[in-house]
Amino acid sequence: MSNIPYKIWFNGKFVPWDEANVHTLTHTLHYGLAVFEGIRAYKCDDNRSAVFRLKEHVDRLYSSAHIANIKIPFTKEQTTEAILELLSINELDAAYIRPIAYIGSGKIGLHPGDNPIELAIAAYPWGTYLGEGALSKGITTKISSLTRMGVNSFMTKAKISGNYVNSVMAKVEATSLGFDEAILLDNEGYVAEGSGENIFIFRNGVLKTPPLTSVLEGITRDAVIQIAKEEGLNFEAERFTRDELYIADEAFFTGTAAEITPIREVDKRTIGQGKPGPITKKLQSRFFDIVQGRDPKYIDWLEFFFTTTPLKVKNESL
Ligand code: PMP
């Protein structure tokens, strides 16, 4: 027993943390076909908290399911409501939210047949993804020996569990060699993205991120592009090479978990001044103002909910 106080929303019911289990012959466990999301809720001022771009995340979950041929037996509205109810039941004022729709047990052959589609949603506290000081000091990275999957081998627009074998291997390789994160190149050798983040560079006055070919259509990526345009920055969704990354003035990752994480080193080469640059810092501070409800212009990106006294747990990274 873990003693973790949070409930999991499991196929329409709230169940204790330790009881949200699956059978060993779950189809997804064998073949990796499930779709999931990573969403964050932030504590705002007063007594309010808000989920960042909940609609876009729920839409992407259902788009991923459409791509994967998974028919989620709940509507988008039911899923949205379940997430908000879960935050309230778990008394969370800030959280990472992880919905997953997967193919349950039944036939174990490749064709999922009539196996049931299950939907589970977890929500729990989660601090900075890339470690202490990542947001303020930046992180070290390595170009991965693994290539980001090609567009006709994997469905890279979808957050499909099996796609993440590539990411997990890249992440483990990079961290076991002493780096904080991996950067994957695409099939043609251009920079694609991090193991779980989109990547941006700022060089010669232009902000660039790879176009949406093999990379995930990140919701934070989209937010950063909108903020950058509003700030009057020159922006291009354009491919770039690893050597252009080495000589960028600034580089950073974006993602729900990673938020906006500055990159201070790639393959032992210092990026810019080796610390977060002014553009990264500006975008980061705009982003945190927005997610914490301090920017009225982007209030539509927030789904507010009210919290009572949050439950306290010792371990913030479950
Ligand atoms: N790329 C990959 C491979 C990811 O897993 C993620 C995290 N979902 C991202 C990019 C960033 O996407 P988002 O900003 O929507 O979290």
User: Model confidence over 54-106: pLDDT tens digits?
Assistant: 999 999 999 999 999 999 999 999 999 999 999 999 999 999 999 999 999 99
* C-alpha 3 – ligand 1 centre gap (Å): 30
Q: Using a cut of 0.75, tell me whether the model's pTM lies above it.
A: yes
Q: Looking at the predicted structure, is the pLDDT value of residue 318 above 70? A: no
144 or 314: which leads in pLDDT:
144
Residue 254 · residue 218 · CB < 8 Å: yes
Q: Is 254 in the pocket of ligand 1 (CB under 6 A)?
A: yes
Which candidate in 7, 142, 159, 208 is catalytic? 159
- Phi, then psi, of 175 in degrees rounded to 5: -70, -35
- Secondary structure (DSSP) of 86-99: HHHHTT-SSEEEEE
Tell me the H-state helices in the chain. Answer: 27-31, 54-68, 76-89, 134-137, 164-176, 219-230, 242-246, 278-291
- pLDDT score at 2: 86
Cα 237 to Cα 191: distance, rounded to the nearest angstrom: 12
The SS3 call for residue 256 is: coil
Q: Is 210 in the pocket of ligand 1 (CB under 6 A)?
A: no
- pLDDT score at 127: 86
Nearest Cα residue to atom 3 of ligand 1: 196
Q: Is 8 in the pocket of ligand 1 (CB under 6 A)?
A: no
Ligand 1 atom closest to residue 220's alpha carbon, by position in its atom list: 14
236 pLDDT band (50/70/90 cuts)? very high
Q: Is 149 in the pocket of ligand 1 (CB under 6 A)?
A: no
314 pLDDT band (50/70/90 cuts)? very low
Lowest pLDDT segment from 65-69, 110-114, 243-247, 309-313? 309-313
* C-alpha 157 – ligand 1 centre gap (Å): 10
Nearest Cα residue to atom 5 of ligand 1: 196
Catalytic site residue 159?
yes
**Domains recognised in the chain with CATH numbers:** 7-126 (3.30.470.10), 134-276 (3.20.10.10)
Interacting residues of 264 by C-beta distance below 8 A, sequence separation 6+: 137, 138, 139, 140, 270, 271, 274, 275, 276
- pLDDT score at 1: 82
Q: Is 272 left (phi over 0), alpha (psi -120 to 50) or beta?
A: left
* C-alpha 212 – ligand 1 centre gap (Å): 12
- pLDDT score at 24: 96
Q: Is 256 in the pocket of ligand 1 (CB under 6 A)?
A: yes
Lowest pLDDT segment from 41-45, 130-134, 184-188, 300-304? 130-134
